[in-house]
Chain A
Amino acid sequence: MVRVVITGQGTINALGSDVASTVDAMERGQSGISLMDFPNVDRLNVKIGGQIKDFDPKVYFDRQKITFYDRFTQFALIAAKEAILQSGLVFEGELSQYSGVIFGTAGGGLQTQDENYRAVYEEGKNRVHPFVVPRLMNNAAVSHVSMSNNLKGPSFTVSTACASSNHAMGQAFHLIRSGAAKVMIAGGSESMLCFGGIKAWEGLRVMSQDGCRPFCATRNGMVQGEGAAVFVFEEFEHARARGANILAEISGFAMSSDAGDIVMPSVGGARRAILAALNDAKLNPEDIGYINAHGTGTAANDKTETAAIKEVFKNYEKNIMVSSTKSMHGHLIGGTGAVELLACIAALKDGIIAPTIGYQKHDPNCDLDIVPNQARQKKVNAVISNAFAFGGLNAVIALESI
């Protein structure tokens, strides 16, 4: 079987504008969640989020390019550049034909939609910028990363709400494992922190107004974040032949569907996805040292996820560290699994176990070792990353050190 490894990683999110600063913030248990700043934020009940502050696209892109780039595309391009640079790959000739891009996003160019709906409905304007469509389309980030890096292989966008980037990275993994690609640029990007984006979530009444406290008895909802994380997935033999620096191996991936409720999670669906990912990776429950939880900080998810983990690991979970880094960077919805994979790689590569911050009080329904408030240093050899989306679509990735 073709093995798949990671040879590059990049990010921009509320914790940092690259991987080093993000992992450093995770290690220090720093929060990237603060009061948000955008037009009409005063009309929201939810005023906090993991917003990237002091972001100036002109530092990264020239004016002509910015015209085509929604904020979610900008984030994806920045993260992809860092990842590809680290991999040392240049996409030319045959390699270019066998290399593609798959990203997850839920909102796509939501900032562009929000701005332009405002213009035509609120301000009564009767004309919009000619590039509204190419900016807002959900595949814009994938297409621009493909164009910027000469990636001519299979490329598309996956949109499965909170599981988008795990599903996207899983597809990239499968394409390499099946022989359809040599290298895949995979991850996710999201930029939903605008009035319309938050107002819609506020309506569902699952958002916290004071902080994201996953697995804590006082948790009262999720907090959104924004940003992107992108990885270079590469066929193992290809990476070894060129002497690449290998960060981790992707050894398994699985998906399941609850076929139950449009918003409520299910223990069975989560359990089936976790178990199938372990089977795909040929790992036993006792091999896993760390789980990056979906851990949204909602009443329903954290209880359900705990139950699913306990059903799969059958007492081994007592030896497994489980953390939700959403407590620090917020919930990036379609980009969240990608940013969370950074924590998985930090655990495998450097033994840095990112904490679940904001933890105040034990919840008997969430009795896992959630690495409360402070990071740990511990060597682990195998990890999994969970994503359970609204709509009951689950995707779990298993990684191992190499």
Chain B
Amino acid sequence: MSVSVKDKVLIIIAEQAMLETSEIKLNMSVEDLGLDSLGLVEAIFSIEETFSVNVPFNANDPTASDFDISSVGAIIKAIDKLVMEKSN
């Protein structure tokens, strides 16, 4: 996993959750971060803009796509995969 993806995602999530990056643990869920559905949608938008990727996410059915949002670590892993796929 590239360090830069992880760091950038942590900065985006920290900003949305109004936390310090040091306070964010990889096993934290979206609920643990205190993000509501609009906060999550905005974080995903920031991620898409930062990495120039498309994240398949429907707020009506967050678990429907392959994009795993169950924890911060899962989100980073999923973004890393999207970035890798793009560079290939």
Contacts and interface: CB of A to CB of B under 8 A. Distances in A.
B57 A205 contact: yes
Interface in B39-66: 41, 44-45, 57-61, 64
A358 interface: no
Interface in A193-236: 203-208, 219-221
B60 A298 contact: yes
Contacts, number: 33
Contacts of B59: 204-206, 221, 299
A299 B58 CA distance: 10
A206 B61 CA distance: 9
A203 B58 CA distance: 10
A246 B38 CA distance: 46
A220 B64 CA distance: 9
B61 A205 contact: no
Nearest to B40: A205
A220 B45 contact: no
Interface in A155-208: 203-208
Nearest to B37: A264
Nearest to A262: B38
Contact of B60 (A203, A219, A262, A263): A219
Q: Which of B36, B41, B44, B58 is packed against the most chain A CB atoms within 10 Å?
A: B58
A206 to B, nearest CB: 5
B38 A208 contact: no
B60 A206 contact: yes
B27 to A, nearest CB: 25
Of the four ranges (under 10, 10 to 19, 20 to 34, 35 or more), the interface on chain B belongs to 10 to 19
B41 A220 contact: no
A208 B64 CA distance: 12
Given A263-B38, A264-B37, A221 B58 contact: yes
Contacts of A207: 58
A222 to B, nearest CB: 9
A207 B57 CA distance: 11
Nearest to A222: B60
Contacts of B37: 264
A332 B37 CA distance: 24
Interface in A253-289: 262-264
Contacts of A203: 45
A220 B61 contact: yes
A219 B64 CA distance: 11
Given A263-B38, A264-B37, A208 B45 contact: no
Interface string A291-316: 00000001110000000000000000
Contacts of B36: 264
A221 B38 contact: no
Contacts of A205: 41, 44, 57-60
A25 B60 CA distance: 28
Contacts of B57: 205
Given A263-B38, A264-B37, A299 B60 contact: yes
A65 to B, nearest CB: 41
A263 B60 CA distance: 13
A203 to B, nearest CB: 7
B40 to A, nearest CB: 9
A220 B38 CA distance: 16
A383 B45 CA distance: 42
B31 to A, nearest CB: 15
A202 to B, nearest CB: 10
Contact of A299 (B41, B44, B61): B61
Interface in B15-47: 36-38, 41, 44-45
A221 B64 CA distance: 12
A207 B59 CA distance: 9
Contacts of B38: 262-263
B41 A221 contact: no
Nearest to A206: B59
Contacts of B61: 220-221, 299
Contacts of B41: 204-205
12 contacts: A203-B45, A205-B57, A205-B59, A205-B60, A206-B58, A219-B60, A220-B58, A220-B61, A221-B60, A221-B61, A262-B38, A264-B36
Interface of A: 203-208, 219-221, 262-264, 298-300
Given A204-B59, A205-B58, 5 more contacts: A205-B41, A207-B58, A220-B60, A221-B59, A299-B61
The 9 closest A-B pairs by CB, nearest first: A299-B60, A205-B59, A221-B60, A220-B61, A220-B60, A205-B41, A298-B60, A206-B59, A205-B58
